[in-house]
A and B are shown apart, each in its own frame.
Chain A
Amino acid sequence: MGLIARTLERADIATVSVSLARDLTEAVGAPRAVFVKWPLGHPLGEPHAPLQQRTVIFRALSLLVTASQPGVIEDLGLRWRREVYTEPDWSKLEGIKP
């Protein structure tokens, strides 16, 4: 996945990856990634848990717009099945203003 991301970045497409395997993501040099130490097959979390899933998307998109250097892997620090999630404040997603 990191290798695909690298190819896209070379083609001027910004990428953010969700990583379930930190060492692997680091080794292939993914341009931007958020890491969750969760079971394989669950990059966005549990089924039918929209707040959890949207939290991961929010954090990933936040990294997409704020990362200032390549190769950053942000550990989201979210524990498997031991967190309480709320709706992210999407208005706080920064980026280049129009």
Chain B
Amino acid sequence: MESGILVKLRNEAILSFMGEPKTWLERILNRVYAIPSVAQLWASRAARRSAALVAGDSLIPFTRLDKPLSAARGVLITTGGVHLKTQPPFDMENRDGDASYREIPDNVALDEITITHKYYDHRDADADLNVIFPLAHFHELVRRGVVGSLASRHFGFMGHIEGEQLATLMQRSAPEVAAKLRAEGVDFAFLTPA
């Protein structure tokens, strides 16, 4: 009984610290998966499930960047659960994940951004957003003339999408984002995972 209360207290402490509900088990799993070789084992297992997703579509689409980087417009896309504090957080309750996306204005103040994603330990990304969403670096690259320009908005997704949500991602969210990027003349995307 006493230990139950302790666990509850600890969970509440974590909850207030992390800003999102994570159980002890999830916290421990975050730690375990943070070990690179364990992550690779997970990747191998996930790969076997995912290979079926692209079966019958073995041709990998490929578009060359047809202009110099210094004249190209780029966009950042992350599946690390990045979004504005004013936007609804990603749905952590659905076991299939959340295939929706959030638009992040290019001129956003970094303290307006937060991360909702309980499947990885994002304390380092919380401390320095560049770990997962390198907006500050890309602004610097534009200033230096290495990259031509950036899109007016970037896109935050949540990884770990399966089942019905995967269908939503492929049939709705991803094509929608592609259309928005095309309309804005975006030439290339830099993608980062969780």
Contact = CB atoms under 8 A, between A and B. Distances in A.
B21 interface: no
Contact of A31 (B62, B71, B79, B194): B62
B61 A31 contact: yes
B187 A95 contact: no
A41 B130 CA distance: 11
Interface stretch (B3-11, B12-20, B48-56, B83-91): B48-56
Interface of A: 1, 3-31, 37-48, 50, 53-54, 57, 60-61, 64-65, 69-71, 80, 90, 93, 95-98
Interface of B: 33-37, 39-40, 42-44, 46-48, 50-51, 53-54, 57-71, 77, 79-80, 120-122, 124-125, 127-128, 130-132, 134, 137-138, 141, 144, 146-147, 157, 159, 166, 169-170, 174-175, 177-179, 181-182, 186-194
18 contacts: A1-B157, A1-B193, A3-B54, A8-B178, A10-B178, A15-B189, A22-B40, A23-B43, A24-B43, A24-B50, A27-B47, A37-B40, A47-B128, A61-B146, A64-B188, A95-B69, A95-B70, A96-B67
